[in-house]
Amino acid sequence: MSKKSKMFLSGVVEGFYGRPWTMSQRKELFRREQKWGLNAYLYAPKDDYKHRMYWRDLYSLEEAEQLMTLISAAKERNVEFIYALSPGLDITFSNPKEVAALKRKLTQVCAFGCRSFALLFDDIETEMCVSDKEAFSSFAEAQVSVTNEVFLHLDEPHTFLFCPTDYCAAFCSPSVPLSAYLKTVGEKLHAGIDVLWTGPKVVSQDISVASIDEVSAVLRRPPVIWDNIHANDYDPQRLFLGPFKNRPAELIPKLRGVLTNPNCEFEPNFVAIHTLATWCRSSYAQKDVPMDGDDGSDYNPHDALQLALTDWLVEFSRANQPDGSGARGSKRDEEEPMQTDGYEPGPKDNPLYTAEPLTLADLTLLAELFYLPYEHGPTALVMLQELHWLRSDRESEKGEEWRRRAEKFDDMCGAVVQMFNRLSNVPNRVILYDLYNYICDIKSGVTMAKAYVKTLGGRTPHPALALSDDPEPWGFRGALSGEFQRMLPSHGIRDLFRSPPATRVYTIRPCTPTDQPEVMKIFKEMQTETQQNVELVGDRLVEGHVTPTQSCGLILDDASGVCGYVFALSDAKTAMTKAQYPETMLQDFPSVMALQIHSKVPDHNAAKRLILQVLSALRDSGSKGVFSEFRSNDRRMFDFLKTLNVFQVLKVEGLPTHVRMMGTKL
Ligand code: GDL
């Protein structure tokens, strides 16, 4: 672990795909960060040419000036400006000219006044080019070697971050503790360099203390969380206005920092950043973090959201046009909004339109409709549940209760439309325009649901709401992508509001001879097509002709019995009747594994645990690697394994036709 005492990094990473923020948005971000007690900003906009695609190119004079201004603006706000480069798209690690280009670029940024840096290797091709393969024993070695060299060249900056290619547990093969990639990073990356980590997944629903202990042990340092909980660059219909959540504050002393990579739209990140700041001030915070108004209380996401929304509400009433008029800090701060021209209606004229002000309840509703990636806000959930109930099979019994609930649903839809109307009239047009697409979308979704319930109740909806046979374009929403989605069999199964399936309990236990009939039943039932006539070594294990290596025959049980199995044999050759597979393959992958998980098991983790347990037993038996065979027409298990990220597809020359291989080194 690094011995240097370092301040907990807290703040924002501009690390999403899509349009980068403007310089004035970034300056406004620094102002907010300082106000809320956050201290860091990582500059890493994926679509900024000179950050990623043209990472070698130096900045022009004009760009240099802009960056210098930005870096000093951060300094003035006591925000640490961390400049990142993402060279991974095309760097040749072993070419000294490439390393020189990295140094040259970062030295230029250093001359702009920046003292903190990062090298990012996320979202890149993992296959090295021939010269890198000759120069380095692994991808991790290549990255670590270049990163260390740049770090030393820059004179060991106090903050230097490294984003690994395997930056979350889901990307680690076979698992975090056993990942060769992370092990190399942990052992060989200079102790003064910190490592970014997004948690169990790219977008992690929860980040537990145990998961951080696990990764810190391999990395040999506490990670900096790159948090994608509010990132929305992967889905144009989603925006996240819910609170920072499901990261226990106990994590704080175990981390080097937390940087949130939020929504692409700048303004709606008020909530993401404000609630993160509240979290950072919880009682677990290190006491050297500046804490404005810290009361030492523990973090509560609901309260943090209310605090954020209360502060945000004030911002909506500040006159602000997208051309910068009325923007904070600009000279035109006091300028009147363009529409007001001093017109006074006569006594018999129409009264002037006066907009109703936005309320805290409106903002709360908005945040609940656009909550978090794995969770709708309470009101959204109630609306979905109500609609679900109202449309379910109650044709004959639309009695009192149905009418009462239909009316309540109608009111809730009305509140959304009202919120839309009030939002559309706020003086701060800059915030409004960042929200506009989303609020239009939800307004029309809700309006259609309202019309639908009216029709269900036997009432004709208002003509504008009627579900017509010849609808306007807003009557068939979602564009081409929507059409594709509706045609897929899985459409709807991932709806967030559906209650998760009752938690099933799985047990993993050693296989006994009495399991044989059940094992054979699953084996046969799970064949997707008629079996091709190919001999697989693994079949001999399943059929009981060969006994698995000790601790390498396991059964997965659910409440109704056997639902999966894994059998492995340390020396596959002992089960072969002839030289079935190439010797070169068997040298790297001497063991064989046969497995089957019933398709009714929705929980990938149970299957993964089962497999990892057998892999670990095989390793204990001294094996270097394991392969698993699949009939080429039997896709289900093959595809399933690919999603688990435990095995890779093996390209083996000279394989019998109709056989495909996966494998992993141990
Ligand atoms: C990612 C990318 C990030 C992107 C995010 C959400 C990391 C380290 N990299 O994988 O740039 O915004 O997903 O789509 O998170």
Residue 257 backbone zone (phi > 0: left; psi -120 to 50: alpha; other: beta) = left
- Output the residue whose Cα is nearest ligand 1's atom 15: 202
Alpha helix (H) residue ranges in 488-603:
516-525, 537-542, 583-588
Mean pLDDT of the chain: 89
Q: What angle do CA 192, 209, 648 make, to 5 degrees?
A: 75
**What is the predicted pLDDT for the residue at 489?**
65
Is the model more confident about 266 or about 523?
266
Query: 228 CA to middle of ligand 1, Å?
Result: 7
Q: Tell me what pLDDT residue 330 has.
A: 45
At residue 287 the predicted structure's pLDDT band, cuts being 50, 70 and 90, is low
- State the burial class of residue 495 (Cβ atoms within 10 Å of its Cβ: 0-12, 13-18, 19+): exposed
Residue 324: which region, alpha, beta or left (left: phi > 0; alpha: psi -120 to 50)? left
CA nearest 2: which of 280, 256, 313, 211?
256
Of 25-34, 126-135, 368-377, 652-661, where does mean pLDDT reach its minimum?
652-661
436 Cα to the center of ligand 1, angstroms: 24
CB atoms within 10 A of CB 289: 17
CA-closest candidate to residue 511, choices 559, 558, 564 = 564
Q: Name the packing angle between helices 269-280 and 301-316 (round to 10°).
A: 130
From 198, 226, 260, 372, the mutation candidate for ligand 1 (largest count of ligand atoms within 8 A of CB) is: 198
Structure tokens at 108: 């230029």
Cβ neighbours, 10 Å, residue 588: 14
Atom of ligand 1 nearest to the CA of 261: 12
What integer pLDDT is reported at residue 337 of this predicted model?
Answer: 54
Q: Sign of torsion, CA 309 313 318 322?
A: positive
Question: How many angstroms is it from 201 CA to the middle of ligand 1?
Answer: 10
Contacting residues for 591 by C-beta, under 8 A, at least 6 apart: 549, 568, 569, 570, 571, 572, 618, 623, 625, 626, 627, 666
Which are the contacts of 351, defined by CB distance < 8 A and separation ≥ 6?
Answer: 345
The percent of residues above 70 in pLDDT, for the chain, comes to: 91
Beta carbon of 261 within 6 Å of any ligand 1 atom? yes
Query: Is the Cβ–Cβ distance between 107 and 154 less than 8 Å?
Result: yes
* Residue 151 Cα to ligand 1 middle (Å): 24
Q: What tokens does 557 get? A: 């049980």
515 annotated active-site:
no
What are the backbone dihedrals phi and psi of residue 82, each rounded to the nearest 5 degrees, phi first? -110, 120
Q: Is 260 in the pocket of ligand 1 (CB under 6 A)?
A: no
pTM of this prediction? 0.74
Q: Is 163 in the pocket of ligand 1 (CB under 6 A)?
A: yes
Residue 492's pLDDT band, with cuts at 50, 70 and 90, is: low
Q: Give the DSSP letter of residue 458.
A: T
Question: Which of 47, 90, 123, 410 is flagged as catalytic?
Answer: 123
CB burial of residue 125 (10 Å; 0-12, 13-18, 19+): exposed
Tell me the CA–centroid distance for residue 226 and ligand 1, in Å. 9
Q: Residue 336's pLDDT is what?
A: 52
Q: Using CA atoms, how far apart are residues 342 and 192, in angstroms rounded to an integer?
A: 63
179 pLDDT tier (thresholds 50, 70, 90): very high
SS (H, E, C) 97-122: HHHHHHHHHHHHHHHCCCCEEEEECC
> Which amino acid would we find at residue 314?
V
Check pLDDT > 50 for residue 527.
Answer: yes
Residue 288 has pLDDT above 60, yes or no: no
Residue 311 to residue 115: CA distance in whole angstroms: 33
Looking at the CA of residue 234, tell me the nearest atom of ligand 1.
Answer: 14
Q: What is the pLDDT of residues 111-161, one digit of tens each?
A: 999 999 999 999 999 999 999 999 999 999 999 999 999 999 999 999 999
Tell me which of 19-33, 94-108, 388-402 is least confident.
Answer: 388-402
Say which amino acid occupies 323: D
- Residue 84: CB within 6 Å of ligand 1? no
Q: Is the CB of 15 under 6 A from ligand 1?
A: yes
> Taking the CB of residue 195, how many other CB atoms lie within 10 A of it?
24
Q: How far is the CA of 164 from the centre of ligand 1 (A)?
A: 12
Q: Which CATH class is domain 360-494?
A: mainly alpha
Q: Is 80 exceeded by the pLDDT of residue 438?
A: yes
Please give the average per-residue pLDDT across 186-207, as a whole number: 97
- Between residues 483 and 70, the one the model is more confident about: 70
Give me the mean pLDDT over the 272-292 stretch.
Answer: 77
- CA-to-CA dists, residue 574 to 540, 541, 548, 624, angstroms: 11, 11, 11, 16
Non-local (6+) Cβ contacts of 363 within 8 A are 309, 312, 313, 316
**H or E segment at 96?**
helix 96-111
630 lines ligand 1 (CB under 6 A): no
CATH superfamily, domain at 9-300: Glycosidases (3.20.20.80)
Query: From the CB of 170, is ligand 1 less than 6 Å away?
Result: no
pLDDT at 392: 79
Measured CA to CA, the distance from residue 352 to residue 337 in angstroms comes to 15
pLDDT at 384: 93
Mean pLDDT of 341-348: 84
- H or E segment to which residue 648 belongs: strand 648-650
Label residue 89 by pLDDT band (50, 70, 90).
very high
Contact call for residues 210 and 242 (beta carbons, < 8 A):
no
Q: Is there an atom of ligand 1 within 6 Å of 46 CB?
A: yes
pLDDT tens per residue across span 210-267: 999 999 999 999 999 999 999 999 999 999 999 999 999 999 999 999 999 999 999 9
* Cβ of 202 less than 6 Å from ligand 1: yes
Sequence ranges of the domains in the chain: 9-300, 360-494, 507-665
- Measure 244 CA to ligand 1 centroid, in angstroms: 17
Residue nearest to atom 3 of ligand 1 (CA): 16
If pLDDT is split at 50, 70 and 90, which confidence band does 535 have? confident
Query: Strand, coil or helix: what is 534?
Result: coil
pLDDT of residue 326: 67
Please report, to the nearest 10 degrees, the dihedral formed by the alpha carbons of residues 610, 616, 621, 624 taken in order: 110
CATH 3.30.1600.10 for domain 507-665: no
Do 9-300 and 360-494 agree at the fold level? Answer: no
Out of 61-70, 154-163, 332-341, 603-612, pick the least confident: 332-341
Instruction: Compute the distance between CA of residue 603 and CA of residue 107 in angstroms, rounded to an integer.
Output: 49
CB-count burial class (<10 Å; 0-12, 13-18, 19+) for 646:
buried
